[in-house]
Amino acid sequence: MFSRTLAAIIVSGLLLVTQALHAQTYPTKPVRIVAGEVGGGGDFGARIIAQALAAPLGQEVIIYNHAGTVVPLEIVKKSPADGYTLLYYGASLWLLPFMRDNVTWDPIKDFAPITLAVSSPNLIVAHPSLAANSVKELIALGKAKPGTLSYASGITGSSSHLAAELFKVLAGVGILRITYKGIGPALTDVIGGQVQLSFANVSAGLPHVKSGKLKLLAITSAQPSPLVPSAPTVAASGVPGYESASIFCIFAPAGTPPAVITRLNQEIVRVLTQPDIKQKFFSTGVETVGSSPAELSAKLKSEMAKLGEVIKDAGIRD
């Protein structure tokens, strides 16, 4: 019994020494960041971070794009846990398990959180003819005339979809969903008056608000956002506790040495605080965040608890 315990202690000690030595020399070769398809929001953000991260790491940082939702996750899950393959991804990672059967990854067990990189809230925008100019008036209208309100959203599971479904639950008001292939065509029909509302991302919705084609009711961030300083939050407008945003985060395969995770977190957070990097994101309606691994882990668990319940109750399937 004693010999087995001693052997376990020695093995554990050797593992810690190996990990420490690896962290001291890391990285010794290029690092790749796996992201979604070329041209998507994830691709844009990953490239900005990769370009700025190469110098402090002293190695090339390569973006590896792959179309499709699942394949990037599978690539990173199956990669060696050595810090040389990272994932830059959004909510599909932790919400698809609620929308699909037979998902082959566990968002908590299979991935090591590094940082919550960026966040972009949605705007509740409406056709100018809608008889509501605030969230409180919108809720009152929906309750006074049930079944008459509709919202235009992008594909199932998109931020414009889940932001609206969360609003329906917390505000206690029914709004019919009209589905589109993307937020662009969705907003076209709101502007045209075929649909009354949309929970659009800032970059898509704000130009139409500025042009007067749509009116702004609120922003979905928990706190007022510098992206749209004049917009009241949904939470402060009659729906306490409401918060919704599209977030992108950076992960490594589970089992990556803690010292490597720490190094990556420190360097990426430094990148995200650089004024030029912040401005590049800000100009597209996105705010940089830069969290600790522990903060990202807590955020994922909170999102899964909150939106997982909404997804299940609404019977949302992808």
Percent of the chain with pLDDT over 90: 87
Q: Answer whether residue 180 shows pLDDT above 70.
A: yes
Residues 2-120+246-314: name the CATH superfamily. Answer: Bordetella uptake gene, domain 1 (3.40.190.150)
The mean pLDDT of 275-297, rounded to a whole number, is 97
For the entire predicted model, the pTM comes to 0.90
CATH 3.40.190.150, the chain: domain bounds? 2-120+246-314
Of residues 68 and 5, more confidence is placed in 68
Give the Cα separation of 67 and 69 in Å (integer): 7
Give the Cα separation of 108 and 93 in Å (integer): 10
Confidence of residue 5 (pLDDT cuts 50, 70, 90): low
Q: Kind and range of the H or E element at 162?
A: helix 159-171
Q: What is the reported pLDDT for 2?
A: 43
Q: What is the reported pLDDT for 41?
A: 77
Q: Answer whether residue 298 shows pLDDT above 90.
A: yes
The mean pLDDT of 195-204, rounded to a whole number, is 96
Query: What digits encode the pLDDT tens for the residues 6-33?
Result: 444 554 444 554 555 445 689 999 999 9
Where are the extended beta strands (E) located within the chain? Answer: 31-35, 61-65, 85-89, 111-126, 150-153, 176-179, 197-201, 215-219, 245-253, 287-288
Query: What digits encode the pLDDT tens for the residues 239-280?
Result: 999 999 999 999 999 999 999 999 999 999 999 999 999 999
Q: What is the reported pLDDT for 24?
A: 67
Q: What is the reported pLDDT for 69?
A: 84
Residue whose tokens read 């030029």: 276
CATH 3.40.190.10 fits 121-237, yes or no: yes
Q: What is the reported pLDDT for 6?
A: 47
CATH 3.40.190.10, the chain: domain bounds? 121-237
Pair 94, 263: CB distance under 8 Å: no
State the burial class of residue 36 (Cβ atoms within 10 Å of its Cβ: 0-12, 13-18, 19+): buried
Range in 20-34, 69-83, 95-109 the model is least confident about = 20-34
